[in-house]
Structure 1
Amino acid sequence: MFPTATLLKKVLPIGGWVNSRVLKDHSKRVAFAAAEERRQALRFITRNTQLSQMQRLKAQLELNSMHAHTRPTQIKNRCIMAGKGRGVFRDFRMCRFQFRLNALAGDLPGVKKASW
């Protein structure tokens, strides 16, 4: 049996549209969340001037050797409905078009069309 058949049965905690970019972004978010405490601790050690130079250097080397997906700059805001990476509202995690469709349909609580 092909390995892709087992992937189809696996349920991922991702929103609507799923493509390779959404899957990659999701894996980056999971890796970042798993390594966030360790990364913050190492950053604190490297910036603490009261520690010895050797301890700070070891912490800096370990920080540099961590995987790139554990960095917060690797995470891109993507639309949870369409998977688009541009024009995403941070508060709703939706792109402009999906926000408009959901707001007009009344699916977003507290959001209504402006009229004056």
Structure 2
Amino acid sequence: MPPPKPNVRVLRDMKARDGAKANEVARRAYLYISRNQLLPPSVRHQAQLQLNTYGRYTRPTTVKNRCIETGRGRGIMSDFGLCRFQFRLKALRGELNGVKKACW
């Protein structure tokens, strides 16, 4: 059986994580300069213009936890990277280490 094709949403999230991580320091510096009221307006304006040149996937707000199996963006178990339904399916099949069905 061939491996499953990666979900587009997951690939987009991975791209956003990489871009946010690579540009974090520079973006924070420009944000600090553009919001600092003690600096002259021309310097603050230039910093804001530099911020506007960054792409969409360099912002940390574009990063969203997604299920690595389905790409679903809700109900994510962050320790496993799975949505609740996929977590349940894998746990019942015994594919998750340390997770067992409870027996009363």
- The bucket for the TM-score relative to the shorter chain is 0.7 to 0.9
Q: Distance in 2 between matches of 1:108 and 1:51?
A: 54
1:70-98 Cα distance to aligned partner (Å, 9 max, x none): 11222222112332223223343210112
Q: Distance in 1 between matches of 2:56 and 2:101?
A: 42
1:108 positional shift:
4.3
Pairing of 1:1-116 with structure 2 (within 5 A): 18-104=6-92, 105=94, 107-109=96-98, 111=99, 113=101
1:44-85 Cα distance to aligned partner (Å, 9 max, x none): 111222222211111111112211111122222211233222
Q: Number of aligned pairs?
A: 100
Q: Distance in 2 between matches of 1:114 and 1:64?
A: 52
TM-score normalised by structure 2 residue count: 0.75
Q: Distance in 2 between matches of 1:17 and 1:25?
A: 15
Q: Distance in 1 between matches of 2:54 and 2:87?
A: 36
* Preserved CA contact (<8 Å) 1:28 1:74: yes
TM-score normalised by structure 1 residue count: 0.69
1:100 positional shift:
1.7
- The code of the aligned residue for 1:50 comes to L
- The code of the aligned residue for 1:72 comes to P
Identity, in percent, stands at 49
Q: What is the root-mean-square deviation of aligned Cα atoms in Å?
A: 2.3
Gaps of 5+ in 1: 1-15
